[in-house]
Chains A and B, each alone.
Chain A
Amino acid sequence: MGLTRLTCRQASRLQSQSLDRELTLSERLSLRMHTAVCDACTRVSRQLHFLRRALRDYPGPEQ
Chain B
Amino acid sequence: MRNLPPSSEARELQEHRPHLLRFALLQLRDTSAAEDAVQETLLAALQAPFDGRSSVRTWLIGILKHKIVDHLRRQVREAPFADPAELSTADLEALFAEDGHYATQPGDWHDPDQALQQQRFFEALERCLQALPRTTSRAFMMREILGMDTAEICKELGVSATNCGVLLYRARMALRACIEKTWFSTARM
Contact = CB atoms under 8 A, between A and B. Distances in A.
A binds B: yes
Interface of A: 7-10, 12-13, 16-17, 19-21, 40, 43-44, 46-48, 50-63
Given A13-B169, A55-B145, A48 B125 contact: no
B112 A50 contact: yes
Contacts of B99: 7
Contacts of B55: 62
A46 B176 CA distance: 11
A8 B101 contact: yes
B119 A20 contact: no
Contact of B57 (A19, A21, A51, A62): A62
Contact of B122 (A47, A50, A59): A59
Interface size class of B (residues with CB under 8 A): 35 or more
A63 B22 CA distance: 15
Interface string B131-166: 000000000000111000110000000000000010
Contact of A53 (B107, B116, B117, B172): B116
A40 B173 contact: no
Nearest to A60: B122
Interface in B96-118: 96, 99-102, 105-109, 112-113, 115-118
Contacts of B125: 54-55, 58
Main secondary structure of the interface of A (DSSP, over half): helix
Contacts of B176: 44, 47-48, 51
Nearest to A20: B150
Nearest to A44: B106
Contact of A43 (B106, B115, B165): B106
A63 B119 contact: yes
Nearest to B122: A60
A53 B122 CA distance: 12
B100 A10 contact: yes
Given A21-B150, A47-B112, A59-B126, 19 more contacts: A7-B101, A8-B102, A10-B100, A17-B169, A19-B168, A20-B150, A20-B165, A20-B168, A40-B106, A46-B109, A47-B176, A48-B176, A51-B172, A51-B175, A51-B179, A54-B115, A54-B116, A54-B122, A59-B61
